[in-house]
Amino acid sequence: MHWQNDLLSSIEVGIVVLDREFRIEVWNQFMENHADKLPSEVIGKSLFSLFPEIEEQWLKSKAEPVFNLNTPVFIIWEQRPYLFKFASSRPITSDASHMFQNVTMFPLLSPDGTIQRLCLLVYDVTDEALRKLRIERLNDELKHMSRIDGLTGLYNRRYWQEQFDREYKLACRKQGRKSVMMLDIDHFKKVNDTYGHQAGDEVIRVLARVIQKSIRETDLAGRYGGEEFSIVLEDSDVDNAQKVGERIRRLAEAMSVEHEGHQIKFTVSIGVCEYTPEIASSIAWLDYADKALYLSKKSGRNRVTTFEPETA
């Protein structure tokens, strides 16, 4: 028995043997060290009374095929981060507050051929889990960076265009009420020439915040290029789009950007076009909004113009 005890103590894996009532029969050194409970404190006692973090019905349902079908069961950390709420084995160097665990449950055959016990093997996979989580987090950050314009926090042109093409196809299939809006900052070159490009960048950032305040989460806003922005308004006919455009125009006109002691005022011109089945492509739809934007500028700027077929 001594060599068996030595073997159980030397393995860097948790070993727990449970009977059908989930009373503990074997508790090795790994479990003693991480649970801070001696074998004398746990042997013969219910696992669930000692570890309330374990959901009784869930574990019993997992153990059912082990007892009744003589089949091993595996629980990986992606499904459930841990079975036993142990602290991280490296609390100073690890990012984790708890130990991530993989668990294997397998049947133990009795001399009469029945399954009266199962064995839990508890593996510390914290390092592996953290590596995978870091990679996933990095991939998410890279995906976010590939979609977002760094200056404004809105979608960049490439991603916005991809989503806009998708919105056009959805509108074609469902005949939904959608409108697209193009807008840019009036006399923006003058801002750059008078106050410098950093001031121009700040004006662009301020307008982006105005846009974000003026639209819904379901709408699609992007920086199309330079001082030009594009927006898809969901469930919006031309009248509602006109109201949103006016809201953006008024808020922009009321803003004052402070830069190196200067108060910079600016206005925006906006063009709007509602989707109709006659629009042949997403490019044509955006072009109609751009033509309406051109008419806003031609008519004196600081205004919202909606596209009308006879104005094309």
For residue 140, the model assigns a pLDDT of: 81
Q: In the chain, which segments carry CATH 3.30.450.20?
A: 2-133
SS (H, E, C) 139-186: HHHHHHHHHECCCCCCECHHHHHHHHHHHHHHHHHHCCCCEEEEEEEC
Per CATH, the number for 149-311 is 3.30.70.270
Query: Average pLDDT for residues 43-55, to the nearest whole number?
Result: 94
- Per-residue confidence band for 92, with pLDDT thresholds at 50, 70 and 90: very low
Q: In the chain, which segments carry CATH 3.30.70.270?
A: 149-311
This prediction's pTM: 0.63
Per CATH, the number for 2-133 is 3.30.450.20
Of the ranges 28-42, 85-99, 125-139, 272-286, which one carries the lowest mean pLDDT score?
85-99
Label the pairing between strands 14-19 and 24-27: antiparallel
**Alpha-carbon gap, residue 245 to 240, rounded angstroms:** 9
Give residues with Cβ within 8 angstroms of 101, minimum separation 6. 77, 81, 82, 83, 84, 86, 122, 123, 124, 125
In this predicted structure, the answer to whether residue 127 has a pLDDT above a threshold of 60 is yes
Query: How does pLDDT run across 205-221, given as a tens digit for each residue?
Result: 999 999 999 999 999 99
Query: How does pLDDT run across 167-179, given as a tens digit for each residue?
Result: 999 999 887 799 9
> Over pLDDT 90: what percentage of the chain?
81
In this predicted structure, the answer to whether residue 308 has a pLDDT above a threshold of 80 is no
**Alpha-carbon gap, residue 210 to 186, rounded angstroms:** 15
Contact 233, 253 (CB under 8 A): no
In this predicted structure, the answer to whether residue 152 has a pLDDT above a threshold of 70 is yes
Active site residue 227: yes
**Alpha-carbon gap, residue 124 to 12, rounded angstroms:** 8
Tracing tokens 């006659």 back to the chain, one arrives at 278
Query: Average pLDDT for residues 146-163, to the nearest whole number?
Result: 93
The active-site residue out of 25, 56, 217, 227 is: 227
For residue 293, the model assigns a pLDDT of: 97
- Count CB atoms within 10 A of the CB of residue 240: 15
**Alpha-carbon gap, residue 156 to 179, rounded angstroms:** 19
